[in-house]
Chain A
Amino acid sequence: MTDIVLWGVLPYVMVAILVGGSVWRYKYDQFGWTTRSSQLYESKLLRIASPVFHFGILAVIAGHFFGLVIPKSWTEAVGMSQDFYHFNALFVGGIAGICTLGGIILLIVRRRTTGPVFMATTKNDKTMYVVLVAAIVFGLWTTLASVFLGGHGHNYRETVSPWFRSLFIFQPDIGSMAAAPFSFHLHTLVGMLLFALWPFTRLVHAFTAPFHYLFRPYIVYRSRDVRTAPGARGRQPGWQPVGTRDRDRR
C-alpha cells in the first residue's frame, strides 16, 4: 500500500504541482521570475562557486537522463558493457556530483557569511536550500555507496529506471521501484519534494534559460504598449479620427 502511494501516486502529484505551479506562476508572477542575483554584493566567491555548481548540476542532469531514460538494452546493443557503463557513471557522475556539492556548499557559506547576501535571503530560499542540498547529498550517497560498498553496488538500471520510464505510459512499475534499496528511495523522494517546491522558489529561473538568445536579432524594436487605462474613454462610435491607420495593431 505504501509502495503504491509512494511510487504510483506521488510522482503524478509531483508532476501536477510542478506543471500547474509553473504555469500559474508564469502567468501570475512575471515580475518575481528572476535569478535574484546577489553578485552586486559579493563577486569573488560567486565567480568560482556559481559556475562550479551550475555546470556540475547540468552534468548531473545529463547523467540522470542517460541512466534513467536510456534502457540498458540500448546501451548494450551499441556494445557498451555493464562494467564500462557503471565505471563511467560512477566516475563522471561522481566528479559532477562532488562539484555540485562543493559549489553549493561554497555558495551557502558565502550566503551565510556575507552580510548583505544573508540579509537578502528569504525563508523561501532557506527551505529550498535544505531540500536542494538534501537531494544532492542523498544522490551522491547512492553513487559513492556503490563505489565503497564493494561489488557493483545496486544496479538501478534494473529497478529505478524501468519504473521511471513506466510512469510516462501511466503503467507505474511499482514492483521494480520497491525492490530498489533505501538510499535510492530516499533520493527519489527528496527529489520529488524538490520538484514540487520548484515552481514556488527562485529555482524557476532555470525554466527560462535564455537559449533563444542564440537566435534572436541583437536590436529589439517594440511598439509602445497601448493598454486602456481604467476610467479612460472607450472607443467612440462613428467616424474614426483623421490619421487612423488601416488594421489597427490592437
Chain B
Amino acid sequence: MKVMAQVGMVMNLDKCIGCHTCSVTCKQAWTNRAGTEYVWFNNVETRPGQGYPRRYEDQERWRGGWELNRRGRLKLKAGGRVKKLLGIFASPVQPELNDYYEPWTYDYETLTEAPLGDDFPVARPKSLITGENTKIEWSANWDDNLGGTSQLGHLDPIVEKIRKESEDKIKFEFEQTFMFYLPRICEHCLNPSCMASCPSGAIYKREEDGIVLVDQDRCRGWRQCVTGCPYKKMYFNHKTGKAEKCTFCYPRIEVGIPTVCSETCVGRLRYLGIFLYDADKVTEAASVPDEKDLYQAQLDLMLDPNDPEVIAAARAEGIPEDWLDAARRSPVYHLAKVYKVALPLHPEYRTMPMVWYVPPLSPVVDLLSDQGHDAEDADNLFGAIEALRVPVEYLAELFTAGDMEIVTGVLRKLAAMRAYMRGISLGNDPEESIPVSVGMNGERMYEMYRLMAIAKYNERYVIPKAHVEQAHNLEEMGCSLDFEDGPGMYASDAFGEASGRPTPVAVENFYALKQRQTTGGHFEPGELRGRVNLLNWDGRGVPRGMFPEQDNPQMSPDSPAHEGGAAGPGPDAGGPSDQAGPSGNPLESRP
C-alpha cells in the first residue's frame, strides 16, 4: 500500500444557480491573457446541452480517455505510443477553435468616437483571433438555460444515447423538460489520460497533493493531451504554443485557502478537502472490466483516514500530521465515501476523476411541485424518483456509466434528508423510518444535512497548508500587470511572443517586510538580479542596483567610510550609520 494525498472537490449540483461567477473569477485569475481568450478552466454548462467544447462527451469522435484492449489492459482510446508518435505531425482528432468558439470583443470605441448623426452608433463584435468584424454564432455557454435546446437538444451526446436506447424519450417541450447546471473544472484524475498522452512528459501529478500541472518549460506543443483528455479540459495556448490547464489554484491551496472558483461560489456548493488513496491500486481499479463497476472501484481506492493501518502507512510515506488530520476532517471524503452521495463525472472514461458531484434532486422536486404535489414528502419523492425515468437515466449516464441503481440510491438519500429535516424543522418528532429506508440513521442524516446545508467556510474547505517547513519558500507571485501590452509585460524576445525566461517579480513578503522594518539601514532583498523594487524602497539611501556600480570607493554602497568624502553629504545605503545620516533627495547628491 502506497498512501498518497489528493486534493479533491465535491460540487453539490442542487445548489448551482448557473450564475457563472466561478467561471468569470477563474477567467480573471488565470486565462485573462492573449492566447487563452477561448479558454475557460472553469465553465458552467446547462444540461441537457452540448457542453464546451461542443459535444466533448462524444468519445467515438474525440477519442479521449482510456479503454480496455483485448487482453483487458488499459490503453489510450486515441491509440498507443507508436500510433501517437506517427500522428504527431498533425494531431488527428483535435478540436478546432470553432468547436470551442471564436472569442470576440466589441468595438466600444465607436460608441464615443462616432460623429453626431441620426443613427445610434453600434459596438460591433470583433474577433479576438483575426481582429476582423465577426458574427457571434457560438460561445462557451451558448445553450445556457436550455437556449435553443428545442432545436439543438438532440445534439447532446447523452440525449442521443438515451434516445437510441429507447425511442424518443427526452422531450424538450417546456412542460416536460428538466435541466440543471454542471460546473466543470479539470478533474485532477488519479489516472490522467492527458498525462499519458504527452509525448514530452511535461504533464505531471504532484506527489504532495495530486494536483495535475503542465510544466511550461518542458511542454513542446505536440498537443496530444488535448486529444487525450476526455473532458477537454486541456487547452492549447495559441500564442505561446504550450498546453495549459486548470491549476486547482495551487498557489492558493498551498497556503491553505480555497480555489478561486470555490471561494467566489455564490451558492457555496463547492467543498474542498483531502483524500488519501492507494496509489499502487489505481491502474487495477481503472481496468475493471465492467464500466458500471468503476464507481465502486474508485470508491475502494479512497482510504479510511481513521484506519490505524492507513495512518501508519501514510506516516511511512511522509505525509505530515496536519494533512492526516485534514484527511480525517475532509468534507469531500465524507460526501464521497461516508455518506456516498457524491459521484464522479463519467467514470467510464477510466481516468478516476477527483472532482465529484452530488447529483441534483431538483429536476424531480421541480416536476413534483409543478404538478401540485408535496415535494418534500418522502413517499412522494421516492415515488417520483422511480417514475421519472428520464432525468434519472440522464444523471446515470453522467455519473455512473449508466447504472441507474446508484443514482437512484443517491437521489433517495437526498430526498430522505429533505423529508426528514422538514419534519424536524416543523417541530415534529424526527421520523426515524425515513433515514432507515435509505440505510442511514437519524444522527448520520443530521450530520449529512449539516455538511450539505449549513457548513461554515472552514468546514467546507479543509485545506492543509503546504508542508509548513517549506511554506516560506513558496512566496513568489507574478505581476498583475503582465497582460499583453500591459505596463508589466516584458518585451517579446527574439523568438517571438513570450519567448525567453519569464521574469519573476518578487512582491514583498512577510520576511522581507520584517527585515526591512527591523534593520536600521537600507534593506536589500537578495537575489533580485540587480533590480530595484521601488515598492520596497523607503526613500532612505540608494539601493544597490538603482544606479550602475562605480569604482569610486567613496560612493560604494557598502563602504562605511563615506562620511567626509569628496562627494559631500552623500546619503549612503547599507551602513548602520545611515539611520542618523543626512537624508536628502538621493538623486541630487549623485556626482
- Interface of A with B (CB < 8 Å)? 25, 28-43, 46-48, 50-51, 53-55, 115-116, 119-120, 122, 124-125, 200-202, 205, 208, 210-214, 216, 218-224, 226-233, 241, 243-245
Does chain A have a CB within 8 A of B511? yes
Closest to A55 in B: B89
Interface size class of B (residues with CB under 8 A): 35 or more
Contact A210 B222 (CB under 8 A): yes
Chain A proximity mask over B173-199: 1 for CB below 8 Å, otherwise 0: 000000000000000000110011011
Give the shortest distance, in Å, between A17 (CB) and chain B (any CB). 15
A216 to B470, CA, bound (A): 29
Could you say which of B94, B207, B218 contacts A30, with CB atoms under 8 Å apart? B218
A208 to B201, CA, bound (A): 12
A53 to B90, CA, bound (A): 11
Chain A proximity mask over B508-525: 1 for CB below 8 Å, otherwise 0: 110110010000000001
Give the shortest distance, in Å, between A30 (CB) and chain B (any CB). 4
Which of B130, B466, B504 is packed against the most chain A CB atoms within 10 Å?
B130
Could you say which of A31, A41, A47 contacts B216, with CB atoms under 8 Å apart? A31
Does chain A have a CB within 8 A of B340? no
Q: Hey, which chain A residues are within 8 Å of B501, CB to CB?
A: 28-31
Contact A214 B494 (CB under 8 A): no
A41 to B223, CA, bound (A): 13
Q: Hey, which chain A residues are within 8 Å of B239, CB to CB?
A: 120
Does chain A have a CB within 8 A of B556? no
Chain A proximity mask over B455-474: 1 for CB below 8 Å, otherwise 0: 00000000000111110111
Give the shortest distance, in Å, between A224 (CB) and chain B (any CB). 5
User: 17 interchain pairs (CB within 8 A)?
Assistant: A31-B499, A36-B241, A40-B96, A40-B236, A51-B90, A116-B238, A208-B220, A210-B199, A210-B222, A212-B201, A220-B205, A224-B466, A230-B504, A230-B525, A232-B473, A233-B472, A245-B318
Chain A proximity mask over B77-108: 1 for CB below 8 Å, otherwise 0: 00001101100111110101100000000000
Closest to B84 in A: A213
A62 to B183, CA, bound (A): 51
Could you say which of B207, B240, B495 contacts A124, with CB atoms under 8 Å apart? B495
Q: Which residues of B, 378-426, contact A by the 8 Å Cβ criterion?
A: none
Contact B90 A232 (CB under 8 A): no
A229 to B200, CA, bound (A): 27
Q: Hey, which chain A residues are within 8 Å of B222, CB to CB?
A: 35, 37, 210
A219 to B194, CA, bound (A): 9
Contact A43 B470 (CB under 8 A): no
A54 and B200 in contact, given A115-B132, A210-B220 (Cβ under 8 angstroms): no
A41 and B320 in contact, given A36-B496, A210-B199, A210-B220 (Cβ under 8 angstroms): no
A228 to B474, CA, bound (A): 7
Could you say which of A30, A116, A232, A243 contacts B217, with CB atoms under 8 Å apart? A30
A35 to B198, CA, bound (A): 14
Contact A35 B130 (CB under 8 A): no
Give the shortest distance, in Å, between B38 (CB) and chain A (any CB). 9
Give the shortest distance, in Å, between B473 (CB) and chain A (any CB). 5
Closest to B506 in A: A230
Chain B interface helix/strand/loop/mixed: loop
Which of A34, A53, A55, A226 is packed against the most chain B CB atoms within 10 Å?
A34
Does chain A have a CB within 8 A of B563? no
Contact A31 B90 (CB under 8 A): no
A200 to B494, CA, bound (A): 8
A125 to B509, CA, bound (A): 42
Contact A231 B318 (CB under 8 A): no
A222 to B212, CA, bound (A): 10
Could you say which of B198, B318, B500 contacts A32, with CB atoms under 8 Å apart? B500
Does chain A have a CB within 8 A of B366? no
Q: Which residues of B, 443-497, contact A by the 8 Å Cβ criterion?
A: 466-470, 472-476, 493-496
Contact B85 A241 (CB under 8 A): no
Closest to A45 in B: B90
Contact A31 B240 (CB under 8 A): yes
Give the shortest distance, in Å, between B101 (CB) and chain A (any CB). 12
Contact A40 B97 (CB under 8 A): yes
Q: Hey, which chain B residues are within 8 Å of A36, CB to CB?
A: 221, 241, 496
A216 to B200, CA, bound (A): 10
Closest to A38 in B: B238
Contact A210 B203 (CB under 8 A): no
A82 to B82, CA, bound (A): 36
Q: Hey, which chain A residues are within 8 Å of B466, CB to CB?
A: 224
Contact A229 B506 (CB under 8 A): yes
Contact B196 A226 (CB under 8 A): no
Does chain A have a CB within 8 A of B526? yes
Nearest 6 A/B pairs, CB to CB? A32-B499, A210-B199, A231-B512, A218-B196, A30-B217, A34-B241
Q: Hey, which chain A residues are within 8 Å of B318, CB to CB?
A: 245
Q: Hey, which chain B residues are within 8 Å of A222, CB to CB?
A: 204-207, 215
Q: Hey, which chain A residues are within 8 Å of B216, CB to CB?
A: 31
Q: Hey, which chain A residues are within 8 Å of B92, CB to CB?
A: 47
A219 and B91 in contact, given A34-B221, A214-B82 (Cβ under 8 angstroms): no
Does chain A have a CB within 8 A of B527? yes
Which of A32, A48, A53 is packed against the most chain B CB atoms within 10 Å?
A32
Give the shortest distance, in Å, between A175 (CB) and chain B (any CB). 39
A127 to B466, CA, bound (A): 48
A231 and B508 in contact, given A32-B496, A51-B90 (Cβ under 8 angstroms): yes
Contact B129 A116 (CB under 8 A): yes
A233 and B81 in contact, given A35-B220, A222-B204 (Cβ under 8 angstroms): no
Could you say which of A34, A55, A243 contacts B240, with CB atoms under 8 Å apart? A34
Could you say which of B90, B94, B494, B527 contacts A230, with CB atoms under 8 Å apart? B527
Q: Hey, which chain A residues are within 8 Å of B215, CB to CB?
A: 222
Does chain A have a CB within 8 A of B502? yes
Contact A220 B203 (CB under 8 A): yes
A201 to B495, CA, bound (A): 7
A200 to B495, CA, bound (A): 7
Contact B526 A230 (CB under 8 A): yes
Could you say which of A50, A221, A232 contacts B509, with CB atoms under 8 Å apart? A232
Closest to A199 in B: B495
Q: Hey, which chain A residues are within 8 Å of B207, CB to CB?
A: 221-224
Contact A50 B89 (CB under 8 A): yes
A213 to B511, CA, bound (A): 43
A125 to B526, CA, bound (A): 39
Give the shortest distance, in Å, between B472 (CB) and chain A (any CB). 5
Does chain A have a CB within 8 A of B544? no
Give the shortest distance, in Å, between B86 (CB) and chain A (any CB). 9
Closest to A201 in B: B495
Q: Which residues of B, 63-87, contact A by the 8 Å Cβ criterion?
A: 81-82, 84-85
A41 to B95, CA, bound (A): 10
Give the shortest distance, in Å, between B3 (CB) and chain A (any CB). 13
A28 to B97, CA, bound (A): 31
A37 to B236, CA, bound (A): 9
Q: Hey, which chain B residues are within 8 Å of A228, CB to CB?
A: 473, 527
Q: Hey, which chain B residues are within 8 Å of A218, CB to CB?
A: 195-196
A39 to B221, CA, bound (A): 11
A32 and B498 in contact, given A55-B89, A212-B201 (Cβ under 8 angstroms): yes
Give the shortest distance, in Å, between B537 (CB) and chain A (any CB). 13
A33 to B217, CA, bound (A): 8
